Amino acid sequence: MKVLRNIIMPLIILAAFFLTAPVKAETSQGKDAPAYGDALVTASIGDASTLVPILATDSASSDVCGMIFNGLVKYDKNIKLIGDLAESWEILEDGLVIVFHLRKDVLWHDGVPFIAKDVEFTYKKLIDPNVKTPYGGDFERIRSLEIPDDYTVKVTYKEPFAPGLSSWGMPIMPEHLLKNEDLNKTGFGRHPVGTGPYKFKSWKTGEKIELAFNEAYFEGRPYINRYIYRIIPDDATIFLELQTQGADLATLTPLQFTKQTGGKFFRDHYNKFKYPSFGYVYMGYNLSDPRFQDVRVRRAINYAVDKQALVDTALFGLARVITGPFMIDSWAYNKDIKPASYDVAMAKELLKEAGWSDTGADGWLRKDGQVFEFTLLVNQGNTDRLKCAQMIQGYLKAVGIKMKIRVLEWSTLISEFITKRRFEAVLMGWSLSRDPDNYDIWHSSKTREGEFNFIGYKNDKVDALLAEGRRTFDEARRAEIYHEIHSLIYDDQPYLFLYSPEILPIVNKRFRNVEASAIGIGYNLIKWYVPKNEQKYK
């Protein structure tokens, strides 16, 4: 859940569920004096897979890394880039050079000073072909990285690179602890050391990750002493924890938001927020599977599924149907591309053209005697996605496709099935960067193990446009490029694009200074506090 710090990942992540940027909130502010102490207990349906930040591809891992590490830059509450580990920077030679001036008051959690060599080390690991990171694409555009002194980093690009500055929100890692480590296997992934507001304390797999405040944090010691990330297997159990106040912060389902939290108890004890996400949900196909290599099949499925009915029924209307790979409110999103209509006859016709025309007595389509049957993977605990999967199952049955549903624990789904491409189709979500560059998801070169193009999509024209979009600074021209990418990808249908959800966080009222902003509610987390007389945990 993307509620907490606004550390930037070039493309964030395979999302178990979302939490990003608000337009509406139900909130009140306390007037009690700030006080140190207490713990913030968050609830998540998914465990982290690793706390090596450049390997953190899922939302659970990214959330925790965001508390422990910093990048050189970050977004403020108005979605403006500001300094984080860098106190200032200069952009020179028409964008080909960025010179970062680093803060001199930053310590790693073990007391060692943060210096430019840590930035250099992180960069080298991001471009190391032996490191299974999906984030290397942004950094392969660098011609050279120089460190004139301990607090200066000069980055020179091979060509203009529009997302260059924002890409340096990438969390920086400590050279002194990792220089002799294999990042794919290091124990650091279970015992990280960062520069952020919270230090790693413990991790009990499948139960909780606990962090403790960083007394020496350069922006000031957080008021909240502990951050406890509880792994709770499903939305219903999380809701029970909210009812007993065993969790302070969680994401509500649309059902919970609209029907189950309007009573006196929740009004007295919690603040609710509602805002659009920086992401979307989709059904992705393994394009190495012969059944899904025929674009007519993928287009048929698009016609067969009523996306608006999914939103209205499974999500109580708290989402918007999408047609492409960009944030729906972004200037990069092509609003001229309209969702395909729900058309069973068209779906059947396209399937027939693709050779799926024999229907046996059981009603299933066949081709060369083989039933059209596949399994859709869904992550455990996300009831909204499971409801959507069940509705999709019904829609596909109506056109003769037999779809099974398999529910998997989040970290297992990522590490054993997505990363290793052991799937036929998967229902997933992306939480996106504020910059629309999504090269790492769609470029045909980004298909190695651990990278984001795990469906194996390839379109030479899209590849060329993605590269052009990265080296174009003019926003109007970039918009044209991304609109064309949007159109091409929607025509190819490598995903069944479904919806962009509303984000529905709930926070216990004992926490003060929780404020809605364009970036979300966690941008000022270090200033959240609980008055002494309301503190619950030591």
In a shared domain, residues 332 and 256: no
Which of 130, 153, 178 is at the close of a domain? 178
User: Considering the domain boundaries, does residue 259 fall inside one?
Assistant: yes
In a shared domain, residues 78 and 37: no
Return the exposure string of 24-62: e unless at least 16 CB atoms fall within 10 Å of the residue's CB, then b.
ebeeeebeeeeeebbbbbbbbbbbbbbbbbbbbbbbbbb
End-to-end CA distance of the chain: 25
In a shared domain, residues 105 and 155: yes
| 45 close to 238: Cβ distance less than 8 angstroms | yes
Biggest alpha carbon distance in the chain?
Answer: 75
* Average pLDDT estimate for 324-330: 94
User: Considering the domain boundaries, does residue 349 fall inside one?
Assistant: yes
pTM of the model: 0.86
Selection from 13, 508, 62, 12 nearest residue 269 by Cα: 508
Q: Return the CATH number at 205.
A: 3.40.190.10
Between CA 132 and CA 143 the distance in angstroms is 21
Task: Count structural domains, the chain.
Answer: 3
Count CB neighbours of 228 within 10 A: 18
In a shared domain, residues 489 and 520: no
In a shared domain, residues 399 and 381: yes
User: Is residue 89 within a helix (H) or strand (E), and if so which, with residue range?
Assistant: strand 86-92
Report residue 75 CA to chain centroid gap. Answer: 16
Which of 147, 178, 209 is at the close of a domain? 178
Quote the pLDDT of residue 17.
47
> Taking all residues of the chain, what is their mean pLDDT, rounded to a whole number?
92
Whether residue 13 is predicted with pLDDT greater than 60 in this model: the reply is no
| 186 close to 163: Cβ distance less than 8 angstroms | no
In a shared domain, residues 130 and 146: yes
In a shared domain, residues 341 and 438: yes
Between CA 472 and CA 115 the distance in angstroms is 32
SS3 97: strand
Quote the pLDDT of residue 504.
92
- For the stretch 474-495, pLDDT in tens is 999 999 999 999 999 999 999 9
User: Considering the domain boundaries, does residue 469 fall inside one?
Assistant: yes
In a shared domain, residues 380 and 267: no
Whether residue 21 is predicted with pLDDT greater than 90 in this model: the reply is no
Residue 263 structure tokens: 């009573």
User: Considering the domain boundaries, does residue 4 fall inside one?
Assistant: no
16: confidence class by pLDDT, cuts 50, 70, 90: low
Q: What percent of the chain has pLDDT over 90?
A: 83
Q: Return the CATH number at 148.
A: 3.90.76.10
- For the stretch 494-527, pLDDT in tens is 999 999 999 899 999 999 999 888 788 888 999 9
Q: Return the CATH number at 290.
A: 3.10.105.10
| 236 close to 255: Cβ distance less than 8 angstroms | no
SS3 144: strand
> What does the DSSP assignment read for 180-218?
TS-TTT-GGGTS---SSSEEEEEEETTTEEEEEE-TT-T
| 157 close to 143: Cβ distance less than 8 angstroms | yes
Which of 178, 201, 217 is at the close of a domain? 178
* Average pLDDT estimate for 203-217: 97
- For the stretch 380-417, pLDDT in tens is 989 999 999 999 999 999 999 999 999 999 889 988 99
User: Considering the domain boundaries, does residue 452 fall inside one?
Assistant: yes
In a shared domain, residues 109 and 158: yes
Whether residue 424 is predicted with pLDDT greater than 60 in this model: the reply is yes
In a shared domain, residues 492 and 507: no
User: Considering the domain boundaries, does residue 91 fall inside one?
Assistant: yes
User: Considering the domain boundaries, does residue 425 fall inside one?
Assistant: yes
In a shared domain, residues 340 and 195: no
Between CA 448 and CA 191 the distance in angstroms is 26
Residues spanned by the domain of 247: 24-70+186-276+503-534
In a shared domain, residues 338 and 484: yes
* Average pLDDT estimate for 193-201: 98
Quote the pLDDT of residue 31.
55
Report residue 422 CA to chain centroid gap. Answer: 21
18: confidence class by pLDDT, cuts 50, 70, 90: very low
Whether residue 194 is predicted with pLDDT greater than 90 in this model: the reply is yes
Whether residue 335 is predicted with pLDDT greater than 80 in this model: the reply is yes
User: Considering the domain boundaries, does residue 9 fall inside one?
Assistant: no
- For the stretch 70-96, pLDDT in tens is 999 999 988 899 999 999 999 999 889
Residue 105 structure tokens: 């008051």
Following CA atoms 378, 379, 385, 387 in sequence, which dihedral angle do they give, to the nearest 10 degrees?
70
Whether residue 290 is predicted with pLDDT greater than 90 in this model: the reply is yes
Quote the pLDDT of residue 277.
87
